Amino acid sequence: LSQMERIYCLLGDAPRNFGSLHVVGTNGKTSTTRMIGSILKEAGLKVGVYTSPHIREFTERIEVGGQEISEDEFVAYLNLLLPLIDEVNITFGDNLTQFEILTALALKYFYDHQVDCTVLEAGMGGRWDATNVVFSRVVALTNISLEHTQILGNSICQIAWEEAGVIKKGSSVATMSRDRRVIKVLEA
């Protein structure tokens, strides 16, 4: 996460300092993220929603108030970030991933649009996910099953531990999982 930390320092740190809700788990993350975003919008909040992956276009991953980022805005924000991306890539000798770049773009966009809160879907896992540079007041864990075992671990407990890596001191946690192994990890 040091590359993500660096890009946020270059952005002035502000884009990650708003109320957030994080959605992690194996299945149902996008649906859960969109439902929560819709509920918060109906409650009168200006909500930034970030999902992954996209089905048709990159722009559908980022929305504010129920409206997707326009193609023109997407290109403008990408151009704004390019010098910072280059600096981070040179500094660390490794390129930011597409997901890391999109995450930085989304958070900067949300900040500039003065959202009240964000609902962020993690890409894979939680502990090392690009979205984990944001403090989330609430973490929603959908469910856990054996997925991405070469990266996240080969047991339900290991994967649950990786997913739970977005939980920080002061965060509240909600889960749909009834698996005792997952619950034990969350309670630890």
CATH number, domain containing residue 65: 3.40.1190.10
ω into 15 cis (within 30 of 0): no
- Report the residue count for the chain: 188
Would you say the C-alpha torsion 28, 142, 42, 54 has a positive or negative sign? negative
Structure tokens belonging to residue 75: 């290109």
pLDDT value of residue 147? 66
What total of structural domains would you count in the chain?
A: 1
Beta bridge partners of 118: 20, 48
Q: Does an H or E element contain 121, and which?
A: strand 117-121
pLDDT value of residue 94? 83
Structure tokens belonging to residue 66: 């129920």
Across the beta sheet with 138-141, the strand order is 67-68, 62-64, 47-50, 117-121, 19-24, 138-141, 172-175
* Domain of residue 150, residue span: 2-187
Residues 6+ away with beta carbon under 8 Å from 146: 154, 155, 156, 159
Q: What is the pTM of this model?
A: 0.88
**Phi, psi for 156 (deg, rounded to 5):** -60, -40
Q: Which residue has the tokens 């075992």?
A: 149
- pLDDT digit of tens for each residue in the chain (188 aa)? 578 888 878 877 665 667 789 999 888 889 999 999 999 999 999 999 999 888 889 899 999 999 999 999 999 999 999 999 999 999 888 889 999 999 999 999 999 999 999 999 998 777 788 898 888 899 999 887 666 666 666 787 788 888 888 888 889 999 988 889 888 888 87
